[in-house]
Structure 1
């Protein structure tokens, strides 16, 4: 795999390259490139790298200037000390967003994500790496309430959640129905581009998301268009993945 490293801090770049070489000894590593201009020049000429590790703030400006001047076809793993650029990063070929100081564990997880996406897209015969193909899923749920069976279309469901140890669905007009399937089973039946498993308690519809705000300890607070019984909080370890899900449309 041909890997390009774009990082203006030499000490950090050396540490990153060393970790990459440990994880993938056969990798052909180019760089580090320290500036936006050097990166544009490199990416404007063939051959294109297979993967790019990129810092957000470079010596002569923001890395996002690179995408305005050069055609970047390779997936990008952003390595930065700041978490506020996650949404913009995923709009720019980003497949992972690693906060410094990174470790062998975080880089290994990023490489596994790259490998998994490549396998998935190879099976689907999709190119380039984005956008991901939409998945098909269950269209409706049959529920029982007030001695009546009712069919609820998936598109009308704002979220699922665990209530008194049992899963329930809540529609956009705030009607609630108890289900007899586990939340794990429900999640597996739904298209992943439309529904996201926030935590053990909540599974939400993309169309139900009203806004997302930063919360304590690098967590995210999610507000839905339909009221929830409690706050929906995403832990810092899942925050980047959630933002990626929101942006991958």
Structure 2
């Protein structure tokens, strides 16, 4: 298991490292980061870890700022001396919330929780979603365009994406429209032969894929049409389902 620790207190980071290695000697600590700025630099230049342990109050800002700025998919276990951040933490892909000083039994339980959630996600990604009758899938979307409305047909859509809790469709002409359904809802509404959920924030059409590149940590990097400003990846737990979709 590869882990990144986000912690600005040296002794807290050292103690957590020792506790993790006591639980599982094979755990690899990829980095210990002390500020949001250093985190932004590291995550932009390295593959994501399997798991993140993150304090909340860092040298420069709260760690929530990192996850607002970057679409990090790795699950997070928060470690903090304060309990008032719990609700906000669980909105940020949090597995657990541990109060300092960290009890090793609570740490062990949090790791078990992470392993169980990872197992469930892998199992779910290998299940074939029952197909609805062809006529039940959405064929068009009514969207706002300027001061009026327009209809976008499904074959005009390259991909769907979520940004800051809002959903959008992007056409092959590279026009983005806000839509009401969430990506979870769209995954059930769209023909799975034509679109695939490659991550929590992307649902892409087969025709939007230009190139596929193997990437670090078991992920796949995609070049899409139209191109995205940020890099687009198939998350590790969805890679096999994605390959099965391409082969179907």
Q: TM-score, normalised by structure 1?
A: 0.49
Q: TM-score, normalised by structure 2?
A: 0.49
Pair member with larger Rg = 1
